Amino acid sequence: MAVVWSFLASRILFTMLIRILVLCASMLLFVNPACAEVSPVAVAANMKDAFSEIATAFQATGKPAIRVVYGSSGNFTAQIMNGAPFNLFISADEYFPLELYKNGKTVDEGKVYAIGKLAIITKNSSGIQLESDKATLVKAINKANKIAIAKPDLAPYGKAAVEYLKAEGLWEIAKGKLVYGDNIGLATTYVITGAADLGFTAVSLAKSAEVSRDTNYLPLSDQLYEPIKQRMVLMKGAPTEAVELYQFMQGSTAKAILRKYGYATP
C-alpha cells in the first residue's frame, strides 16, 4: 500500500512540475516581445546635452524610450563596420557616416542635421583670461599647463581644434601641451576636473549647465576651421522607431533644441 501511495505521489508531483514548466514557458513567450532589448542609437559626444533634450521631446510624442550610447564618431564607425548593432548613427561630422555608406552599411547618404561650432574653455578658478584677440590667447596658452582636445583622427572637434591652432598661428606654442581625449566629452572633462587648464570643446557642451557651472568659454571664429557639418545615417534594416527618430531629428522641435545649444541647422 505504501508503495502505491508513493507511486501516486510521484505521479502527482511530476504532473504539477510539468504544468509549472508549461506555465513558465508561456509567460516567457508572452513577455519576451515587450522585454526585447532595443538596439542602441550611437550619438557623438558633443551632442550629449542637446540630444538628451531631443530624446525627451521625442518620447513625449508617445514614442518608446530609446537607448543611447555616446562616444567618438571614429570609434562608432569602427564598431559598426565590425557588426555593432546600432540602428541610427548621429555623427559629429560627415566623413564617418559617408564612409559607412560607401561600405554598404546604411540605407543612403543620410542627412546633415546640424553645423557645430568650436569653443575654448577654462575653469573659473584657473585665473586664465579668454579674449578673442590673438595676444590674449597667446598669454592663455603660455600660462596653461595642459591643453585638452579630442583625438583628431577620431573626433571632428579635435580635428577642428588643430585646424584652428594652425590657422591662428598658435600651433607651435600649443602642441607640446596637448592632452588627448577619445571624444570631445572626455576632453571637456579634463578641464572640468582640472587635469587641463584649457580645452577645446563644442559650443553646445560649453553652454550646458554641467560645464558652464565651473567654466567660462570663448566661441572661436568658424572662418579658421572647416565647417563641422554633422550628418546622421540610418543602418540597413533599421526598425520603425529608429526611422521615426531620424525623421524627428529633421523636424522643427529638434531644430529649435539644436539652435538653443549653439548649433546652426540646415
User: What would the pLDDT profile of 154-210 be if each residue is shown by its tens digit?
Assistant: 999 999 999 999 999 999 999 999 999 999 999 999 999 999 999 999 999 999 988
Give the dihedral of Cα atoms 253, 63, 210, 252; nearest 10 deg.
-10
First to last CA, the chain: 87
Give CA–CA dist 56/265, Å, rounded: 19
> Minimal CA–CA distance to 137: which of 170, 162, 175?
170
User: What would the pLDDT profile of 6-37 be if each residue is shown by its tens digit?
Assistant: 433 444 444 444 344 333 333 333 333 333 45
**So what's the pLDDT on residue 65?**
85
Give CA–CA dist 63/56, Å, rounded: 10
**So what's the pLDDT on residue 180?**
97
Q: What is the DSSP track for 49-116?
A: HHHHHHHHHHHHTTPPP--EEEE-HHHHHHHHHTT---SEEE-SSSHHHHHHHHTT-BSSS-EEEEEE
**So what's the pLDDT on residue 107?**
97
* Domains within the chain, CATH numbers bracketed: 41-115+228-260 (3.40.190.10), 116-219 (3.40.190.10)
